[in-house]
Amino acid sequence: MSMLFKLLLLGGFIAAVYYAFFKKPALSGSKKDEKSPEEAMIPCLKCGTYADIKDTFVRDGHYYCSRECMEA
Ligand SMILES: [Zn+2]
C-alpha cells in the first residue's frame, strides 16, 4: 500500500468522522435561525401590509392580505 493511498484513506476517515459529529448540530443550529415557510410574513402587493403566509390570498404569483386587495 502506497503512502499516498494511506493518506487518502485517513483523510476520508477523518471526513466521515467529522460529518458524523458536526453535521447534525450544524443543521439543527441553522434550522433555529431560519423561519419555516409556514411562519413567513408576506407583504401585500396592494397595501403593503404584512400577513402570515397562511392567511394570504395568492393570484398570479402575488400575495395579498385580503380578498378585497386581491380583487381591487
Ligand atoms: Zn392588502
pLDDT at 27: 52
pLDDT tens digit sequence for 56-72: 999 999 999 999 999 98
What distance in angstroms lies between residue 35's CA and the mean position of ligand 1's atoms? 22
Distance 6 CA to ligand 1 centre (A): 64
Could you write out the DSSP letters of every residue in 1-31? --HHHHHHHHHHHHHHHHHHHHHHHHHHHHH
User: Is the CA virtual torsion 19, 22, 28, 30 positive or negative?
Assistant: negative
- pTM, full prediction: 0.47
**CA 52 to ligand 1 center in whole angstroms:** 12
Percent of the chain residues past pLDDT 70, beyond the cut:
76
pLDDT classification of 21: cutoffs 50, 70, 90? confident
Q: How far is the CA of 50 from the centre of ligand 1 (A)?
A: 8
